[in-house]
A and B are shown apart, each in its own frame.
Chain A
Amino acid sequence: MAAEMEPPPLGDAGQTDFREIEDGEGFFVSTVTILESPEPSSPDPPSMPAEGISTNGPKQEDISLDDDPEDLFAEATEEVSLDSPEREPILSDGPSPAITPVTPTAMLTPRMGLGTAEMFERSLDELEEDESGDTFDMHIAVSDPEKVGDGMNAYMGYKVTTKTSMTIFSKNETTVRRRFSDFLGLHSKLASRYLHIGYIVPPAPEKSIVGMTKVKVGKEDLSSAEFVEKRRSALERYLMRTVKHPILLKDPDVMMFLESSELPRAVSTQALSGAGILRMVNKAADAVNKMTIKMNESDAWFEEKHQQFENLDLQLRKLHASVECLVCHRKELSVNTASFAKSAAMLGNSEDHTALSRALSQLAEVEEKIDQLHQDQAYADFYLFSELLGDYVRLITAVKGVFDHRMKTWSKWQDTQLLLQKKREAESKLQFANKPDKLQQAQDEIKELEGKVQQGEKDFELISKTIRKEVSRFEKERVKDFKVVIIKYLESLVQTQQQLIKYWEAFLPEAKAIA
């Protein structure tokens, strides 16, 4: 499946389109239904970068216009009905092998359990459970990194296996191959769609020019293997986090990503592409704006939360740095233990007292085993602890971004309000100037602006509400995540200690046997 075929151009919004993709061997035929969603006129569609439009005509963000939460999930049910009959079975390549991810993803307790949270609006809560009728049960594994192609155009292909019992998916188990830019493309689509309305979209793993170049060049050494493993694990965590989000899970792009065997190449994720440059410019503009907007925070909750996240950010960064230090030192310890083991063995060899010589050789062996233990521990340190912290540092950046979007929404609303006021003043002036057509024009404009102001207010309220929900969800997830990981980590420490006991207890009689 190395060749990627250009899919035929997709239809516009409002049409259901089929996309047929055939791969080289002609085994697969998959159809993807593009969703249609009722589209109330949106007076102020947020700006969308170019790539978002190509695969999904209808603007998902219109959902945000519906204040009524019912509609949100009405869409979802509509999705389900559109999907199931029209999808043809997607043939997967053979039985999915049992994939044991390196960092086993904890199976979450069913969503039902979260019903205890009074902070959720009751109706929304119920709907969340009703939506698919089943509990959250998804398991995504990213595995089998394989280098595809050669030279500078080479890339790593990863196998993405989805195991689920949820009804919104057409199959219980799907396997597809994806490359890194596919993940980035998915993320940028989700971000453009959801970030500005207040949803915390999990950030994708970072690009790494150095790492990838090494892989491309074909250096088969330890560091590039480590890099690939790190990336693989990060991609897995990214996907799991994305699907854990109830809204993002429903996103057709996500489903397409998980299920369709071919995806259009997401070229706009390249750093030097046009979209990339646009992104950079936008980022700079945002940074300037943030400094100039001074928001009147009427809601103390947001103020408090904002501060909380700032602190959390600091703490996590500090912790992350410490843990990285720990990983480094443990690796060092492992190296030193190994070198000591070697020299102890040599010492044992040159020792002429036989029992002592044997004991020293035993000591060397013990130390060697311990070195392996330390290596494993370092591995655990890193993959469990350090990567989790890194993920959360990035997540918090996304959270802060969401808060910023709220500020922007507020500011837009305020601006529109100011504009309205000015127009009103202008109108009242015109009233006295007796210019009927200009007056009419002004009055039309005012009506329009009034609508806009109302919209702005609604937007702002909606984003505030969404953020509240999101933040509480985020907090819950965070606590769960940390708890799971920390327990695992402590378990690994305990296990190390147990092994140490075994090794030293085996050594002790040898030492005692020295006569």
Chain B
Amino acid sequence: MTSTIDDSDKEKALSVSVDLNNDTSLLIDIPDALCERDKVKFTVHTKTTLSSFQKPDFSVPRQHEDFIWLHDALVETEDYAGLIIPPAPPKPDFESPREKMHKLGEGEATMTKEEYTKMKQELEAEYLAVFKKTVQVHEVFLQRLSSHPVLSKDRNFQIFLEYDQDLSVRRKNAKETFGSFFKNMVKSADEVIISGIKEVDDFFEQEKTFLLDYSSKIKDSTARAEKMTRSHKNIADDYIHISSTLSINNITILQHGDVKVEGRVASDQELKLTELLRYYMRDIQAAKDLLYRRARTLADYENSNKALGKARLKSKDVAAAEEQQQQCLQRFNKLSESGKRELTSFKGRRVVAFRKNLIEMAELEIKHAKVGQTGDSLSFFSSCILYVLGRERFNPTLSCVCTYS
């Protein structure tokens, strides 16, 4: 299934995470994507004026795993410890539509032809929505990298964009994956220890409290928003069943309107609200990671201080310990500085993104409710065709159209 993303969608993409850096020297987009069974192949297209690239305009095919590799590579780079690494795009999840497709296939015998076609259409629309969504998040990931002053210059990033052969050789093998999993576990244990460390800087103290609190709240909100959209989808499905049963019963009420409105409301809410929340949930996790790294360096610094003290007592290896301490201090300061920058811009980005999304969501809700309203939009509530027993003996062909504004 190929999907072409046009400009309006691109704008949608940018709306989740707004690009505050209007630098056009490096423009990335995903104009094309192919879905084969489980795998999605993205076509990453780059347009650049930078000399560091071989060509000004080129495209490469990439898979989801390549994105993950890039993300992990960036996270593991020491130099970027003080930066918020944009969260990795989530794996394309066609589970839900696929499950539905399966159920639909099973239930085909019990459904009428019309019902089946409609359900299938709905399913295809859902599939398409999931597809669009996954393309969007991958695109956003790359665009955030390209707009970041430091990360855009990363060598791995360049390779990702340019290397015209399969990246799988450079991707993690199983052993390394396991290693990173282990690292994550250790990190979370560390986090507990770290949060106990006394913070020297007010700004970071505030940020820490805020982020911890906000992160849990936003996780909660995301979960509930997802539940809400799922309920909406259930209702849309119910309307399909109802309208098809009614039409068999010769009381044909074009409740297609209901179906479309409910279905679209579901998918728009999905795109706007839930995606927004989901994205920022991950982003806040990335911010928290930054804080963690910084806290780690603070811990290191304090440890090195202790070590220096000990060395001075023993009068052994003082120079080495001093060296160590200086390094730690430097690293800590560097992280604090860039961390402050990153977190401030993060906040700005977040506010703007929320604003944009909330506005768009409200506008869409209004638009759809209005369409459900207007009398001239025939396919909606305003038209219902009722089966009326005709004057002639039970002539089923007589029907009356009743419209109302």
- A residues with a Cβ closer than 8 A to B are 116-119, 312, 315-316, 318-319, 322-323, 325-326, 329-330, 332-333, 336-337, 339-340, 343-344, 346-347, 350-353, 355-356, 359-360, 363, 475-476, 479, 482-483, 486-487, 490, 493-494, 497-498, 500-501, 504-505, 507-508, 511-512, 514
Contact = CB atoms under 8 A, between A and B. Distances in A.
B232 interface: yes
Interface stretch (B27-35, B178-186, B221-229): B221-229
Given A352-B210, A479-B388, A514-B355, A343 B235 contact: no
B251 interface: yes
Interface in B149-200: none
B366 A329 contact: no
B213 A512 contact: no
Contacts of B365: 500, 504
Nearest to A505: B366
A343 B217 contact: yes
B220 A346 contact: yes
A487 to B, nearest CB: 7
Interface string B312-343: 00000000000000000000000000000000
Contact of B373 (A337, A475, A494): A494
Which of B225, B351, B362, B404 is the most central at the interface, judged by chain A CB atoms within 10 Å of its CB? B362
Contact of B251 (A340, A363, A482): A482
A325 B225 CA distance: 21
Given A322-B242, A475-B389, A493 B362 contact: no
A111 B204 CA distance: 81
Interface string B227-257: 1101110110011011001101101010000
A479 B234 contact: no
B103 interface: no
B212 to A, nearest CB: 10
Contacts of B387: 479
B224 A476 contact: no
B245 A318 contact: yes
Contact of A497 (B347, B354, B369, B388): B369
Secondary structure of the A side of the interface? helix
B277 to A, nearest CB: 9
Nearest to A371: B228
A479 B124 CA distance: 36
Given A329-B235, A486-B253, A500 B369 contact: yes
B272 to A, nearest CB: 11
Contacts of B214: 347, 350-351
A322 B359 contact: no
A-B pairs, top 7 by smallest CB distance, nearest first, are A333-B231, A514-B355, A511-B358, A340-B224, A326-B238, A329-B234, A500-B369
B241 A497 contact: no
Interface in B273-322: none
A237 B95 CA distance: 46
Contacts of A505: 362, 366
B389 A487 contact: no
B235 A326 contact: yes
Contact of A346 (B217, B225, B246): B217
Given A322-B238, A350-B213, A493-B381, 20 more contacts: A318-B245, A322-B241, A323-B242, A325-B238, A326-B242, A330-B231, A336-B231, A337-B231, A340-B221, A347-B214, A479-B388, A483-B402, A487-B402, A493-B258, A498-B369, A500-B366, A501-B369, A501-B370, A505-B362, A505-B366
A494 B372 contact: yes
Interface in B346-405: 347, 351, 354-355, 358-359, 362-363, 365-366, 369-370, 372-373, 381, 384, 386-389, 391, 393-394, 402, 404
Nearest to B358: A511
Interface in B50-96: none
A324 to B, nearest CB: 10
B391 A118 contact: yes
Given A330-B235, A359-B354, A500-B369, A336 B227 contact: yes
Contacts of A351: 214
A494 to B, nearest CB: 5
Given A344-B221, A498-B373, A504-B362, A483 B386 contact: yes
A482 B359 CA distance: 40
A355 to B, nearest CB: 8
